[in-house]
Amino acid sequence: MKKVLSFDIDQTLNIAKTPIPDEMAFLLSECLNEFEICPISGQKFEQFLIQIVNRLVEVADVTPAQLAHLHLFVAQGTQYYHYQPTANGNDGSTYNEKNWEQVYNYPLTEDEVAKITEALESSAKETGYWEEDKLQPGDEIIENRLSQVTFSALGQKAGTEEKYAWDPDCKKRNLIAKLAKEKVPDFSFEVAGTTSINAFRDGLNKSFGMNHLMEELNVEKDDILYFGDMTQEGGNDYPVVQMGIDTITVRNHEDTEYALKGILGVL
């Protein structure tokens, strides 16, 4: 029996950049009673809270004891957060957002961020895909997420339908990523989500995160079942497949919900 269920987020647990649906919240709540649950994504920590944790607490009434079995592998697993129910003077009976402990972090230097940012911006402009005019007020195309830099072609605030329509076959982002890699070959550029490219030091992809997951949780590859939508070569879930970890490729959160119902139904 598997000990760990690990998930990509966007298009695996939810509609891209939105909180997980009610049904997913309830299913993950049940899973927390049986497994260690490990979302791993290019998202920043605050998005993990908005899209997953807050929904588990507010919709599914997940307890602090259950949250101790939720492990947040942020920015491809280059940052890891774990909930401590009794930290900050808490008695463990109520949820406190301040009780998330950062276990480790592998941040980029300012110089590395600058190099990646320049490579992404210039590559997007060369291909004609730098669409700053489409940004909503206060939004940005390139975001520093400490241990990775993320290019979001239409920004973070664009509508879901607009994002889905921008690059459904990933051809635009694959071209930008290819050019950026040629400019700064010491970094990796992976297509993710609906309009994003995640950039980081070579080797710090999801395989890095999964290796740390195994170390932190003291488990082996055979103990893990992974869910992701970008498992094709060049996708940000592909490194997990290459590791030999059992993987379920999904098209959307409905596929994941269907699989989780089957898993919970046989326990």
Q: What is the CATH number of the domain that holds 218?
A: 3.40.50.1000
What does the block give as tokens for 211? Answer: 């290796």
Q: Are residues 185 and 221 in the same domain?
A: no
User: Is residue 235 located within the same domain as residue 185?
Assistant: no
> Is the domain of 238 the same as that of 117?
no
Q: What is the pLDDT of residue 266?
A: 86
Tell me, yes or no, whether 213 and 97 share the same domain: yes
Q: Are residues 8 and 77 in the same domain?
A: yes
Per-residue model confidence (pLDDT) at position 89: 87
Whose tokens are 């049940």? That residue is: 30
Query: pLDDT tens digit string along 124-181?
Result: 999 999 999 999 998 999 999 999 999 999 998 888 889 999 999 999 999 999 999 9
pLDDT, tens digit, for every residue of 88-105?
888 999 999 999 999 999
- The Cα diameter of the chain in Å comes to 56
On whether both 140 and 209 belong to a single domain, the answer is no
Give strand ranges (E) for the chain.
Answer: 4-7, 36-39, 71-74, 79-83, 100-105, 142-144, 149-152, 187-192, 196-201, 224-228, 246-249
Note the pLDDT of residue 25. Answer: 99
Percent of the chain residues topping a pLDDT of 90: 89
Here the contacts of 152-155 (C-beta below 8 Å, separation 24 or greater) are: 152/193, 152/195, 152/196, 153/124, 153/129, 153/195, 153/196, 154/195
- Give phi and psi for 93, each to the nearest 5: -95, -20
Query: Which of 146, 170, 201 is the endpoint of a domain?
Result: 201
pLDDT score for 156: 86
Q: Work out the mean pLDDT of the chain and round it to a whole number.
A: 96
Q: Is 21 left (phi over 0), alpha (psi -120 to 50) or beta?
A: beta
- For the chain, how many structural domains are there in total? 2
Name the residue range of residue 42's domain.
Answer: 4-106+204-265
How large is the average pLDDT for residues 247-258?
98
CATH number reported for the structural domain that contains residue 160 in this entry? 3.30.1240.20
Asked if 195 and 238 sit in the same domain, the reply is no
If asked whether residues 18 and 125 sit together in one domain, one would say: no
Residue showing tokens 């998930």: 7
Q: Examine the fold and report which residue of 169, 201, 233 is the final residue of a domain before the chain moves on.
A: 201
Last residue in a domain, options 201, 221, 244:
201
Domain match, 102 and 208 both? yes
Q: What is the pLDDT of residues 26-83, one digit of tens each?
A: 999 999 999 999 999 989 999 999 999 999 999 999 999 999 999 999 999 999 999 9
**101 with 79: CB under 8 angstroms?**
no
213 and 188 together in one domain = no
Give yes or no: residues 25 and 139 share one domain. Answer: no
In the numeric block, which tokens belong to residue 65? Answer: 């004891």
> Same domain for 95 and 11?
yes
pLDDT of residue 248: 98
Per-residue model confidence (pLDDT) at position 223: 99
